[in-house]
Amino acid sequence: MIDDAVIDFSAGSLTLLNAILAVVMFSIAIDLKPRDFKLLAKAPKPLIVGLFSQFILLPALTFLLVMAAQPQASVALGLILVAACPGGNISNFITHRAGGNTALSVSMTAFATVSAIALTPLNIAFWGSLYPPSAEILRATAIDPLSVAITVGLMLILPLVLGVALNTNRPDLTRNLRKPLQWLSMAIFVGFVTLALAANWPLFLAFAGSIAGLVIVHNALGLGGGYALATLAGLSPFDRRAVTIETGIQNSGLGLVLIFGFFGGLGGMAIVAAFWGIWHAISGLALANIMSRRKVAP
C-alpha cells in the first residue's frame, strides 16, 4: 500500500536539501532590488492576480481533482501540499524562455515565498482537512503551522533578504555571481533529486505509474487555470505568460522538505512531489518553447 510506504531519506539528506534550496533562493534574490517591489506597489494588478492564482485558485482546483479522482490518502495530501507551496525556482528561467515578464515572475516568486510562511501551512491544513482520508493523516501527524512557517522562513525568506541586500550594496559582485550561481544551484538540485530517486528507485517504479496521470492532470490544471485567470483579469500577454508559468511550476523541493520534515517521508506524498519535480520542468519547458514562437510586447 502506498500509504504505508516510507522513502529512505536520512536526516543528513534533509539538511543538505534545505541548504541547496536556500542557495537556489539566494541565486534568484540577487536579481532583485527594493525598487522592484516599489514598482509593483505602483501597479500591483498582475502581482495580485498571480498570487490569487497561486494560493487560492490552484489549491481549489487541486481539491476538485482530489474529490473527482478519490486517490489514496497520502497521494491526495501530496497533491494538496504541492499546490500549497509557492512557485518553483525554475519558473523564472522558464518565463524568460517563454518570452514573458521575467521581472514579474521573479517578483511573484519573492512575494509568494514571503506569503508562504502563513499561506502554505494554512492551505495544507484547510484543504487537507476537507478530504476525509487525508484529514486522518493530518490528525495523526499533528502538523504545527508555526514549525512549517519557521522552516519556510529559514530556507526561503532569509536567503531572499540576504540576496536583495547583497544586490543593493554590491551590484558589481552580484552581476558576476548571478548566472553562474543560478546554473550551479539548479544543477546541484537536479543532481540531488536524481540521487535521491536512485536510492528509492524500486519504490518509485512500483507506484509512479499510478501517480503519473494525476500529476500530469494536476500540472495541466495549474497552467490552464493560471492562463484562464490572467486572461479574465485582462492582463497583457506579456504578464499572462508569467502568471501562467508561475501557477503551473511549483516548489516541489520545498514540498519534499515539508514531507520529510513533518510527515516522516510518507511514500505517496514523497512520490507525488518527486514526480512533480520532474514533470513540471518538462511541461514548463515545452510550453515555453511553444510560447516563444510568438513574440509579445512588454
Position 128 confidence tier, pLDDT thresholds 50, 70, 90: very high
In three-state form (DSSP H/G/I as H, E/B as E, the rest C), the secondary structure along 91-141 is HHHHHHHHCCCHHHHHHHHHHHHHHHHHHHHHHHHHHHHHCHHHHHHHHHH
Least confident of 69-83, 133-147, 277-291: 133-147
Mean pLDDT of 69-84: 93
- Which pLDDT belongs to residue 210? 77
Those residues with Cβ within 8 angstroms of residue 124's Cβ, 6 or more apart along the chain or in another chain = 77, 80, 81, 84, 138, 143, 148, 258
- Confidence at residue 53, expressed as pLDDT on a 0 to 100 scale: 96
Nearest to 208 by CA among 256, 271, 269: 271
For the cut 60, the answer to whether the pLDDT of residue 64 exceeds it is yes
Q: What pTM was computed for the model?
A: 0.83
Averaged over 237-257, what is the pLDDT?
89
Q: Which residues pair with 266 in a beta bridge?
A: 6
Per-domain residue ranges of the chain: 18-291
- Is the pLDDT score of 225 beyond 90? yes
- Residue 142 is predicted with a pLDDT of 63
What whole-number distance in Å separates Cα of residue 27 and Cα of residue 209?
34
What proportion of the chain, given as a percentage, has pLDDT over 70? Answer: 88
In the chain the first and final C-alpha atoms are separated, in Å, by 50
Residue-level pLDDT at 46: 92
Q: Is the separation of the CB atoms in 120 and 82 below 8 Å? A: no
Architecture of domain 18-291: Up-down Bundle (1.20)
